[in-house]
Amino acid sequence: MYQSDKLREACGVFGVFAPGSDVARLAYFSLYALQHRGQEGAGIVSCDGRVAHVHKGMGLVSQVFNEDNLQALHGHMAIGHTRYSTTGAPRLRNTQPYIVETLDGPLAIAHNGNLINAPQLRRELLERGVGLQTSTDSEVIIHVLAGAGSADWPARIRILMAKAEGAYSLTILTRNAIYGVRDPWGLRPLALGRLDDGRGYVLASESCAFGTINAGLVQEIQPGEIVKLDADGYQIFQGTPPEKPAFCTFEQIYFARPDSTFNGKLVHKVRQKLGRQLAREAPAEADMVMPVPDSGTPHAIGFAQKSGIPYSEGLIKSRYIGRTFIQPTDELRRAGVRMKFNPLPENLAGRRVVLVDDSIVRGNTSGPLVQMLREAGAKEVHVRVACPPIRFPCFMGVDMASQDELIAARQSIAEICEHIGADSLAYLSLDGLMKALKAEEGYCNACFTGDYPFTTAIPLIELQAKEKFAQVWGN
């Protein structure tokens, strides 16, 4: 199957405590807004203080849920999840939220991120006789919580945080409350919101989820913090001391929706700044600036603003080419880029083009796009990339765990330029990236530098297999 030349994020998470509201419907529309963070599966767990109800399935949010199964999700609180697999295959048993019954009532979790010490935690659980049913690190989290040996849920969460190493933003459902948890490095985002009708509070991976349900942003949860939502409102307390901040740079570059905010800054505006900095560092003699839609659009706007070269569109993206269970023919698979993009020959004919993209990962999209523009009449194609070359794998919740997949790990910029057939190629520098973000530190740039935020003794190369727990299940 055609493999997109984009990084894929792990998941989106949501939580709500709102007596008197249709929490299942609130969860549904919020997950819909977080669909960009995961398209393989979705699920919701609700609770009325006594009994928990769950529905989840494979596919998009709109495919998993309907009026009938939403009406069965009773209660005044709920958590939800949209999944893209980084640990564990895209199968129903790996779809979240996970739920177990404890002596203190139901327990459910939704997880965004990746625990790099999951193999050790998993072995400890198996040695204690805990039966595991999935191939994900997220199931490890729920069993560590369930067996933490305290009736006090904040205490159990602190025990988990002391053991877990890696990236995690969690929403947790118990009998009486919803909890949100962010790892001490702050690798993955988590935000707190308040419903406009005053009935309750919500949690989500991104603030863009709040607008769809008439909620407003209260604040972002900080690294190492726990937030509790219950009948008394919300309470925030420190779960574990924060580490050196390492927010994933790719949330700003690509993962997050442009209408989300991080640290009080609109992502769309941040991406325009990246484009302007890219124009300063890598100018080009050209007649038009165009994006690889849609993720390259704000970067291209910024490039055009700074360079003075007119912005225009040269590619139209089909909004309906996404994940499908119907496999294309071999011929269509090879033409995967053409299934996704169509050129605008009248805009391109005889023109020198700056093609701006957010990133180049595997290099299997840029070449066909350059060729497509030339076939449509472009005289020159100058490719500009709004981040540094990606040379190292990520182990913190991004589906990019093999260095062999990364074209910049194998080839120089000049070689990549020749490989994709561009007239010129330039990337934003790391210094330029940090300058545009107005931050000397506070971000994880490991995929650019190989400098990981963890001191774990686990050889990271052992973590590169996406199906590292598959021996439990066979094929």
pLDDT digits (tens, 9 = 90+) for 355-414: 999 999 988 899 999 999 999 999 999 999 999 999 998 888 776 657 888 999 999 999
Amino acid found at 138: S
Position 446 in a domain? no
- For residues 216 and 325, state if they share a domain: no
Q: Please report, rounded to a whole number, the percentage of residues in the chain having pLDDT higher than 90.
A: 76
Highest mean pLDDT (candidates 10-14, 261-265, 460-464): 261-265
Tell me the mean pLDDT in the region 309-332.
73
Backbone phi, psi, residue 155, to 5°: -65, -40
Position 275 in a domain? yes
Position 454 in a domain? no
pLDDT, tens only, 73-89: 999 999 999 987 655 55
Q: Please report, rounded to a whole number, the percentage of residues in the chain having pLDDT higher than 70.
A: 88
Query: Quick one: pLDDT at residue 4?
Result: 56
Verify whether residue 47 is a known catalytic residue: no
Q: Tokens representing 56? A: 């989840």
Q: At what angle do helices 137-146 and 153-163 cross, to 10 degrees?
A: 140
- For residues 166 and 303, state if they share a domain: no
The C-alpha atoms of residue 430 and residue 426 are separated, in whole angstroms, by 12
Query: Quick one: pLDDT at residue 261?
Result: 97
The CATH number of the domain holding residue 167 is 3.60.20.10
Query: Quick one: pLDDT at residue 7?
Result: 60
| Helix, strand, or coil (residue 443) | strand
Tell me the mean pLDDT in the region 268-294.
97
Q: Is the pLDDT of residue 139 over 60?
A: yes
Tell me the mean pLDDT in the region 66-76.
97
Query: Quick one: pLDDT at residue 404?
Result: 84
Q: Exposed, middle or buried by CB within 10 Å (0-12, 13-18, 19+), for 116?
A: buried
Query: Quick one: pLDDT at residue 332?
Result: 63
Report strand pairing: 380-385 vs 424-427. parallel
The CATH number of the domain holding residue 424 is 3.40.50.2020
Q: What is the residue range of 216's domain?
A: 11-244
Query: Quick one: pLDDT at residue 397?
Result: 74
Identified catalytic residue from 11, 47, 394, 417 = 11
Position 460 in a domain? no
Q: Is the pLDDT of residue 472 over 50?
A: no
Number of domains in the chain: 2
155-172 per-residue burial string, b: 16 or more CB within 10 A, e: under 16: ebbbbbbebbbbbbbbbb
Tell me the mean pLDDT in the region 295-306.
97
- For residues 278 and 240, state if they share a domain: no
pLDDT, tens only, 99-118: 999 999 999 999 999 998 98
Position 459 in a domain? no
Give the residue with greater pLDDT, 321 vs 185.
185
Position 469 in a domain? no
